[in-house]
Amino acid sequence: MKIPFSYIFRNLWTRKLTTLLTAGGMALVVFVFAAVLMLDAGLKRTLVSTGSLDNAILLRQSSQTEIQSSVYRDQASLLETMREVAHGNDGTPLVSKETLVLTQIPKRGSDKPQNIVVRGLPALGIQLRPQVHIVDGRWFRTGTSEIVVGRSIADGFEGVGIGERLRFAAREWTVVGTFDGGKSGFDSEIWGDVEQMMQAFRRTAYSSVIVRLRDRQALGALEGDVNADQRLILDVKREPEFYAEQSKTLSTFISILGLTLSIIFSIGAMIGAMITMYAAVANRTTEIGTLRALGFRRSSILSAFLLESVLLAIVGGIAGLTLASFLQAFTITTMNWQSFSQLAFGFDLTARIVTVTLVFSIVMGLVGGFLPSVRAARLEIVDSLRAA
Amino acid sequence: MYYLKLIFKNIFRHRLRSILTIVGLVVAILAFGLLQTVVNAWYAGADMASANRLVTRNATSLVFSLPAYYRERIKAIDGVTAVAISNWFGGVYKDQTFKNFFATFAVDHDVFFDLYPEFRVKPDELLAFKKDQRGCMVGRLIADQHGFKVGDVIPLTSPIYGGGTWELTVRGIYEPKDETTVTRQLYFHWDYMNEQMKKRFPKRAESAGVFIVQIADGSRAAEISQAIDREFRNSLAETLTETEKAFSLGFVAQTEAIVTAVKIVSFVVIVIIFAVVANTMAMTARERLAEYATLKALGFPPIFVAMLIFGESVLISALGGALGILLTFPVAAGFKLAMGTMFPVFYVTGQTVAMQVAASVAVGVLAGILPSIRAANVRIVDGLRYAG
């Protein structure tokens, strides 16, 4: 015979303060746990959406980031003639020769300058990234000192409004537009004309070359051709793969730190649940005896108390998740160690995270409630009726 | 005195509950202390900075170098006593994991160690290092981590400078002056690197990452910084000079979001444990209402009853807090070992201990307020009737 659910629920309801405090503690743990998972998911989505499966990126051999790489002009021109490269309607090869430099701009509300990526690219480069579009103002004109800024830069940094002028590389650059990178890493970049950037930064080589592949399977063939040509000492990578590598360090750091914290915190929360449930058992000794005398089995008592603890944990879990879901409105900007520049990314609440978090809170409830429930189930009828 | 005894007896009436609460407190105070130590570790480089050292770098961004001949011009500026080039080599030992990471710099071998008196070097080792162009000096931390001894050859690859494998011979191991000194760096001859560059990539030779500038009088730092920057204004590579501390803090500022998150989380753990302790005290007070009524009926004033429960709350927190603080030291030492070279400086500061004490007292006081008010205000008739 099972103990009615309403009995379990009412037990929690009568001791409101205790229930609130225990569930509150659990909610905070769940909040931290979910926040970390969301942050990691947000970071991964940002970097994955930065690349396209149709594009390949070429860097100088063994350089891990675009900043470290240099591709000479003659190398870049050779790439345009490769047979794996797709061509546009007018027959031009879809190859974007780009240069990447870092400059420093103060974050809004602080005077501390942060490293920002400035990307010089040809008009074709914009075409190769269909997820990017202008939201305010217009694109820069080729051959001018005009720049456009990504959305995270426009929101988070000083002096980058349309019409404002930025000074770097001994030149004044006019901001003419803001673009939306579709929540990709491009949101944290400043874009301008590649030849202007090369002149201003006195560079003779590009940083990277992006090519649109004839078809997705052509990557292997391109790699083979590049390796075969002695003039091209370049590494070929598919874009999403390249961007995933870029975030590896940061992503590992966030998950290790977050999981360590969640484990330590959950110990605290489980102790809280244990205390509450032990008290519940102690307070209700007579009640348990009565239930047993009425014919409820030990297993029913055990499951009733376990369920009470799990219910408590679920209340905490849902409260924590609700709190965490508000985080989606925030964006975090921090330095990506690998690219040495600022990257903005948000908290991403996915279905998987909701499931994992709820399972996590249920486990906390089960572990915290197990020992007290066993004690309740073990009580002898006679002793417990006499207890009062 | 008997008052304290009564509180003590009360604590151990519910032995299991009190022990669980104390364990929870220990975990929380320990976690708080560790997180604060992590935050401090983040500022390690800045703590080590000397007021007598300035850092001159390219004004556009750190990724751009400066011409090496600037060294002589900086040296000529009034107040400057010594100048050393330091290039971030980005050497990779074995693979790119946190475990195998250490910083590698190419420096002016003849003056560098004079500029850093906090690195304790043996005179004969220093001499051997100066004589061997392919020699290097490694810090105590990496020497212990990888078992490097004098005479060992360390193979490094560099994604920045390329050129295959660079083999450097350990000529000496420098020791830290005190626990704030970071010894996670390898230093080798800038001259050696420069010669290799001349052979392979002549365009990239004769370049300096930063100049470490020693000044005689720390109070003239601002004035000398300006003098250096004025010297190179409107040149091809404008400079930015700041104190070593400001330079290091600039790095910290880049990852400020992470530091802030860790700080917030360290306070969340205190809130969680507050919920647990408050819950324990609320339950304890509720169970003893009949007792409190009896005490009052015997003529004890409400304040006596209130202090009884309040004292219990503070004492439990003090016990848990003290244990937590004591455990912080061995756990921090173990954590440092486990993390390898990720946090080169990791020790518990006096300030952290003070914050731990404050946190446990605050938890005890806050958790005791509501239950003690309730105990003080209980009406004798209601209390005696209360079944618990």
Q: How confident is the model at residue B79 (pLDDT cuts 50, 70, 90)?
A: very high
B143 within 8 A of B102, measured Cβ to Cβ: no
A149 within 8 A of A161, measured Cβ to Cβ: no
B273 touches chain A (CB under 8 A): yes
Of A64, A204, A278, the CB nearest to B16: A278
Q: What is the full DSSP assignment across B59-109?
A: SS-TTS-EETTHHHHHHTSTTEEEEEEEEE---B-SSSSSTT--EEEEE-T
What residues contact residue B25 under an 8 Å CB cut-off, 6+ apart?
A: B273, B276, B277, B316, B317, B319, B320, B321, B323, B324, B360, B363
Cα separation of A156 and B333, whole Å? 39
Burial class (CB in 10 A: 0-12, 13-18, 19+), B78: exposed
- Identity of the amino acid at A126: I
pLDDT tens, position by position, A45-55: 888 788 888 99
What pLDDT is attached to residue A1?
Answer: 65
Q: Provide the token pair at B317.
A: 């927190």
Of B61, B90, B268, the CB nearest to A28: B268
Nearest one of A253, A269, A264 to B331, comparing CA atoms = A264
Cα separation of A369 and B109, whole Å? 64
What is the dihedral angle through the alpha carbons of B255, B260, B266, B271, rounded to the nearest 10 degrees? Answer: -160
A289 touches chain B (CB under 8 A): no
- Identity of the amino acid at B222: A
| Packing angle, helices B302-339 and B2-11, rounded to 10 | 60
Rounded to the nearest integer, the mean pLDDT of chain A is 88
- Identity of the amino acid at B73: R
pLDDT tens, position by position, B158-178: 888 887 899 999 999 999 988
Residues above pLDDT 70, as percent of chain B: 98
Collapse the DSSP code of A371 into the 3-class scheme (helix H, G, I; strand E, B; otherwise coil) and give the result. helix
Distance from CA of B376 to the nearest CA of A (A): 18
What's the residue count for chain B?
A: 388
pLDDT exceeds 70 at position B179: yes
What pLDDT is attached to residue B327?
Answer: 94
List, in sequence order, the alpha helices (H) in chain A. Answer: 5-14, 16-50, 73-80, 123-127, 151-156, 194-200, 219-228, 239-246, 248-283, 285-294, 298-325, 351-378, 381-386
Q: Provide the token pair at A270.
A: 């489980």
What pLDDT is attached to residue B336?
Answer: 81
Distance from CA of A264 to the nearest CA of B (A): 7
A100 within 8 A of A192, measured Cβ to Cβ: no
Q: Provide the token pair at B210.
A: 């930063």
A96 φ/ψ angles, rounded to the nearest 5 degrees: -115, 115
What pLDDT is attached to residue B167?
Answer: 93
Cα separation of B220 and B222, whole Å? 6
Looking at the DSSP assignment, which residues form a beta bridge with residue A57? A210, A237
pLDDT tens, position by position, A142-151: 999 999 999 9
What residues contact residue B109 under an 8 Å CB cut-off, 6+ apart?
A: B129, B130, B187, B188, B189, B190, B191
How are beta strands B80-88 and B210-215 bridged, if at all? antiparallel
B370, HSE (Cβ side, Cα atoms, 13 Å): 17
pLDDT tens, position by position, B114-147: 999 999 999 999 999 999 999 999 999 899 889 9
Q: Hey, are the CB atoms on A21 and B254 less than 8 Å from each other?
A: no
B68, HSE (Cβ side, Cα atoms, 13 Å): 15
The complex scores an ipTM of 0.74
Rounded to whole angstroms, what are the CA distances from A331 to A46, A153, A345, B6, B301?
11, 11, 6, 53, 55
What pLDDT is attached to residue B337?
Answer: 79
Average pLDDT over residues A179-191: 90
B76, HSE (Cβ side, Cα atoms, 13 Å): 7
Cα separation of A250 and A96, whole Å? 28
- B139's enclosing H/E stretch is strand B135-139
Cα separation of A74 and B330, whole Å? 59
Q: Hey, are the CB atoms on A22 and B162 less than 8 Å from each other?
A: no
Q: Provide the token pair at A130.
A: 């269909």
Residues 293-352 of B with CB under 8 A from A: none
Cα separation of A47 and A184, whole Å? 6
Spacing of C-alpha A299 from chain mean position: 44
How are beta strands A165-168 and A189-193 bridged, if at all? unpaired
pLDDT exceeds 90 at position A381: no
Q: Hey, are the CB atoms on B279 and A275 less than 8 Å from each other?
A: yes
Residues in chain A closer than 8 A to B287 (CB atoms): 279, 283
In this structure, of A18-32, A354-368, B76-90, B182-196, the range with the lowest mean pLDDT score is: A18-32
A312 within 8 A of A19, measured Cβ to Cβ: yes
Q: Which of B272, B287, B317, B363 to mutate to test the interface with A (most CBs of A within 10 A)?
A: B272
pLDDT tens, position by position, A190-214: 999 999 998 888 788 899 999 999 9
What pLDDT is attached to residue B70?
Answer: 94
First vs last C-alpha separation in chain B: 29
Looking at the DSSP assignment, which residues form a beta bridge with residue B58? B239
Cα separation of A209 and A60, whole Å? 10
A62, HSE (Cβ side, Cα atoms, 13 Å): 14
Q: Provide the token pair at A1.
A: 């015979």
pLDDT tens, position by position, A301-351: 999 999 999 999 999 999 999 999 999 888 888 888 777 778 888 899 999
Q: How confident is the model at residue B360 (pLDDT cuts 50, 70, 90)?
A: very high
Residues above pLDDT 70, as percent of chain A: 99
Cα separation of A384 and A292, whole Å? 10
pLDDT exceeds 80 at position B99: no
Rounded to whole angstroms, what are the CA distances from A125 to A94, A145, A194, A239?
8, 17, 10, 14
Cα separation of A365 and A317, whole Å? 10
- In this prediction the pTM is 0.80
Rounded to whole angstroms, what are the CA distances from B293 to B174, B176, B281, B382?
70, 63, 17, 8
Give A324 or A253, the one with higher predicted confidence.
Answer: A324
A41 within 8 A of A345, measured Cβ to Cβ: no
Residues 17-36 of B with CB under 8 A from A: 17, 20-21, 23-24, 27-28, 31, 35
What pLDDT is attached to residue B387?
Answer: 59
pLDDT exceeds 70 at position B80: yes
Q: How confident is the model at residue A386 (pLDDT cuts 50, 70, 90)?
A: confident
- B362's enclosing H/E stretch is helix B350-377
Collapse the DSSP code of A327 into the 3-class scheme (helix H, G, I; strand E, B; otherwise coil) and give the result. helix
B287 within 8 A of B342, measured Cβ to Cβ: no
B257 touches chain A (CB under 8 A): yes
Distance from CA of B279 to the nearest CA of A (A): 6
What pLDDT is attached to residue A388?
Answer: 55
- Identity of the amino acid at A91: G
Give B261 or A145, the one with higher predicted confidence.
Answer: A145
B274 within 8 A of B360, measured Cβ to Cβ: no
Average pLDDT over residues B287-295: 87
